[in-house]
Structure 1
Amino acid sequence: MLSPDGKTIAYIAPDENGVRNIYMKCVTCKHTEKISFEGQNNIASFEFTGVPDVILFQEDNNGDENTRLYKLNITKATPPHLPVAISDRIGVKAAVFKNNMRDSKVLVGMNDENPVYHNVYEFNLYTNELSLVFHNKRFPARMLFDNDLNLKIISELTKDSSVIYYRPSPKANPKKLTSRKDDWVEYLRVSAEDAPLTDPIAFTADNQRVYWKWGIGSDLGQLVIHEFGRPETNQVMYSAKKAEIASLFLHPTEKTVLGLTEYYNKPEIYVANDTIINDMQYLVNLRPGDSPMVVGVSRDFHTWLVTYLSDNKPFEFYLYRKWQNKAEYLFSTRAELNNRQLSKMIGFDFKARDGLKIQAYLSLPPSTERRIPSEVNRTNPEFVEYAKLGMIPRVPQKLILLVHGGPHMRDLFEFNSMNALLTNRGYSVLQVNYRGSTGFGKKLRNAGNGEWGRKMQYDLLDGVDFLVEMGVVDKNKVAIMGGSYGGYATLVGMTFTPETFACGVDIVGPSNLLTLLETMPPYWLGMYNEMVKTLGANVDSEAGRLSLRSRSPLFYANQVKNPLLILHGANDPRVKQAESDQFVDELKKNHIPVTYVLFGDEGHGFTKPHNTLAFAGLVENFLGKCLHGAVESFTLGQYNSSATLIADALNPDYPRLATTLPPPPSRFYGSPRGYALY
Structure 2
Amino acid sequence: MQNTKLIPRQVLFADPEKLNVKISPDGKHISYLAPYEEELNLWLAPITNSQAAKPVTKSKQPIKDYCWSGNGDFLLYIHDEKGDENWQLHGFHCETGSYHSYTAKGCNAKIIHISAKKPEQILIGLNQRDSHYHDVYLLDLAANHMECIWQNNAYWEFIADDELTIRLGVKITLQGGEYLDLTQAEPECVAKVTQHDLFGLYFYPRLRLGLSADGTQLFLAQSEKTNTSQLSAVTLSSKQLSVLGGQQNADICDILLDPQHKIPLAYAVNHQRKAWFGLDKETEQEIRFLTAFDDGDMDIVSQTKDNQLWIIAYVRDNGPVGYYLYHRDKKTLNHLFDSHASFSQYAFTRMQPQNIKTRDGLECVSYLSLPLDKQQPVPLVLMVHGGPNFRDFWGFNPIHQWLTNRGYAVLSVNYRASTGFGKAHAMAGNGEWGGKIQEDLLDAVAWAIEQGISRKEQVAIMGRSFGGYATLMALTQTPEVFCCGVDIVGPADLETMAANFPAYWKTMQGVINGMMLGCDPDTPEGKAFLAKRSPIHSVNKITKPLLIGHGANDVRVKQSESDHMVAAMQANGIPVTYAYFPDEGHQFMHPGNRMAFYALAEAFLANIFQGDVEPQDKNLHTSMVVKVDDFKLTK
Q: 2:471 aligns with which of 476, 490, 493?
A: 490
In structure 2, relative to structure 1, the CA distance for the partners of 1:53 and 1:541 (3 Å cut) is: closer
TM superposition shift of 1:192:
5.0
Tell me which residue corresponds to 2:24. Answer: 3
Tell me which residue corresponds to 2:544. Answer: 562
Instruction: State how far apart, in whole Å, the 1-side matches of 2:73 and 2:220 are.
Output: 33
Instruction: State how far apart, in whole Å, the 1-side matches of 2:523 and 2:184 are.
Output: 42
Is the deviation greater in 239-248 or in 492-501?
A: 239-248
Structure 2 residue matching 1:543: 3-state secondary structure: helix
Instruction: State how far apart, in whole Å, the 2-side matches of 1:422 and 1:192 are.
Output: 35
Name structure 1 gaps, 5 residues minimum: 172-181, 369-393, 659-678
Q: Structure 1 stretches (4+) deviating beyond 4 angstroms?
A: 189-200
Q: 2:115 aligns with which of 92, 95, 100?
A: 100
Instruction: State how far apart, in whole Å, the 1-side matches of 2:612 and 2:350 are.
Output: 19
2:73–2:94: 8 Å Cα contact kept in structure 1?
A: yes
2:310–2:327: 8 Å Cα contact kept in structure 1?
A: yes
Tell me which residue corresponds to 1:179. Answer: none
Tell me which residue corresponds to 1:50. Answer: 70
Tell me which residue corresponds to 2:280. Answer: 273
Tell me which residue corresponds to 2:353. Answer: 347
Residues 1:145 and 2:160 aligned together: yes
In structure 2, relative to structure 1, the CA distance for the partners of 1:539 and 1:209 (3 Å cut) is: closer
1:197–1:214: 8 Å Cα contact kept in structure 2?
A: no
2:228–2:250: 8 Å Cα contact kept in structure 1?
A: yes
Tell me which residue corresponds to 2:189. Answer: 186
Tell me which residue corresponds to 2:79. Answer: 59
Instruction: State how far apart, in whole Å, the 2-side matches of 1:267 and 1:526 are.
Output: 31
> What amino acid is aligned across from residue 230 of structure 1 in structure 2?
S
Tell me which residue corresponds to 1:163. Answer: 177
Residues 1:515 and 2:530 aligned together: no
Instruction: State how far apart, in whole Å, the 2-side matches of 1:263 and 1:453 are.
Output: 26
Instruction: State how far apart, in whole Å, the 2-side matches of 1:257 and 1:155 are.
Output: 21
In structure 2, relative to structure 1, the CA distance for the partners of 1:344 and 1:251 (3 Å cut) is: same
Residues 1:505 and 2:486 aligned together: yes
TM superposition shift of 1:425:
1.0
TM superposition shift of 1:201:
2.8
Tell me which residue corresponds to 1:309. Answer: 315
Relative to the length of structure 1, the TM-score reads 0.86
> What amino acid is aligned across from residue 188 of structure 2 in structure 1?
V
Tell me which residue corresponds to 2:216. Answer: 208
Instruction: State how far apart, in whole Å, the 1-side matches of 2:184 and 2:534 are.
Output: 49
Tell me which residue corresponds to 1:219. Answer: 227
Please give the per-residue CA displacement for 1:626-674, whole angstroms capped at 9, x wherever unaligned: 2221110115x4312000011111xxxx46236xxxxxxxxxxxxxxxx
> What amino acid is aligned across from residue 602 of structure 1 in structure 2?
E
> What amino acid is aligned across from residue 65 of structure 2 in structure 1?
S
TM superposition shift of 1:532:
1.7
Structure 1 residue matching 2:565: 3-state secondary structure: helix
Please give the per-residue CA displacement for 1:504-531, whole angstroms capped at 9, x wherever unaligned: 1100010000000111111112222222
Residues 1:36 and 2:57 aligned together: yes
In structure 2, relative to structure 1, the CA distance for the partners of 1:314 and 1:197 (3 Å cut) is: closer
> What amino acid is aligned across from residue 433 of structure 2 in structure 1?
W
Tell me which residue corresponds to 1:74. Answer: 94
TM superposition shift of 1:161:
4.4
1:610–1:639: 8 Å Cα contact kept in structure 2?
A: yes
Tell me which residue corresponds to 2:633. Answer: 656
In structure 2, relative to structure 1, the CA distance for the partners of 1:596 and 1:545 (3 Å cut) is: same
Tell me which residue corresponds to 2:12. Answer: none
Structure 2 residue matching 1:474: 3-state secondary structure: coil
Instruction: State how far apart, in whole Å, the 1-side matches of 2:94 and 2:213 are.
Output: 29
TM superposition shift of 1:195:
5.9
Please give the per-residue CA displacement for 1:547-574, whole angstroms capped at 9, x wherever unaligned: 1111101111111111111000000011
TM superposition shift of 1:71:
1.7
Instruction: State how far apart, in whole Å, the 1-side matches of 2:554 and 2:490 are.
Output: 11
In structure 2, relative to structure 1, the CA distance for the partners of 1:568 and 1:449 (3 Å cut) is: same
Structure 1 residue matching 2:281: 3-state secondary structure: coil
In structure 2, relative to structure 1, the CA distance for the partners of 1:192 and 1:616 (3 Å cut) is: closer
> What amino acid is aligned across from residue 53 of structure 2 in structure 1?
T
Instruction: State how far apart, in whole Å, the 2-side matches of 1:25 and 1:585 are.
Output: 51
TM superposition shift of 1:146:
2.4
Aligned ranges 1:581-660 → 2 under 5 Å: 581-634=563-616, 637-649=618-630, 654=631, 656-657=633-634
2:476–2:538: 8 Å Cα contact kept in structure 1?
A: yes
Report the identity percentage: 34
Is the deviation greater in 573-582 or in 491-500?
A: 491-500
Q: 1:442 aligns with which of 403, 407, 423?
A: 423
Structure 1 residue matching 2:401: 3-state secondary structure: helix
Is the deviation greater in 49-58 or in 515-524?
A: 49-58
Residues 1:117 and 2:146 aligned together: no
Tell me which residue corresponds to 1:420. Answer: 401
Tell me which residue corresponds to 1:455. Answer: 436
> What amino acid is aligned across from residue 209 of structure 1 in structure 2?
Q
2:193–2:222: 8 Å Cα contact kept in structure 1?
A: no
Is the deviation greater in 348-357 or in 160-169?
A: 160-169
1:492–1:553: 8 Å Cα contact kept in structure 2?
A: yes
Relative to the length of structure 2, the TM-score reads 0.92
Q: Which has the higher contact order (CA 8 A, sep 6+)?
A: 2
2:199–2:389: 8 Å Cα contact kept in structure 1?
A: no
1:196–1:442: 8 Å Cα contact kept in structure 2?
A: no
> What amino acid is aligned across from residue 128 of structure 1 in structure 2?
N
Please give the per-residue CA displacement for 1:337-356, whole angstroms capped at 9, x wherever unaligned: 12421111111112111121
TM superposition shift of 1:319:
1.0
1:509–1:579: 8 Å Cα contact kept in structure 2?
A: yes
User: Larger Rg: 1 or 2?
Assistant: 1
Please give the per-residue CA displacement for 1:286-337, whole angstroms capped at 9, x wherever unaligned: 21x2221110011111211110121111212111111221111111111111
Instruction: State how far apart, in whole Å, the 1-side matches of 2:291 and 2:165 are.
Output: 38
Instruction: State how far apart, in whole Å, the 1-side matches of 2:121 and 2:66 are.
Output: 16
Instruction: State how far apart, in whole Å, the 2-side matches of 1:101 and 1:657 are.
Output: 54
Name structure 2 gaps, 5 residues minimum: 1-21, 202-206
In structure 2, relative to structure 1, the CA distance for the partners of 1:52 and 1:325 (3 Å cut) is: same
TM superposition shift of 1:257:
2.2
Instruction: State how far apart, in whole Å, the 2-side matches of 1:520 and 1:571 are.
Output: 13
> What amino acid is aligned across from residue 536 of structure 2 in structure 1?
L
Q: 1:249 aligns with which of 244, 256, 263?
A: 256
Is the deviation greater in 413-422 or in 440-449?
A: 413-422
> What amino acid is aligned across from residue 187 of structure 1 in structure 2?
V
Structure 1 residue matching 2:333: 3-state secondary structure: strand
How many corresponding residue pairs?
606
Aligned ranges 1:254-265 → 2 under 5 Å: 254-265=261-272
Tell me which residue corresponds to 2:326. Answer: 320
TM superposition shift of 1:196:
5.3
Instruction: State how far apart, in whole Å, the 1-side matches of 2:609 and 2:520 are.
Output: 39
1:157–1:164: 8 Å Cα contact kept in structure 2?
A: yes
TM superposition shift of 1:19:
2.1
> What amino acid is aligned across from residue 70 of structure 2 in structure 1?
G
> What amino acid is aligned across from residue 6 of structure 1 in structure 2?
G
Instruction: State how far apart, in whole Å, the 1-side matches of 2:122 and 2:192 are.
Output: 29
TM superposition shift of 1:438:
0.3
2:367–2:413: 8 Å Cα contact kept in structure 1?
A: yes
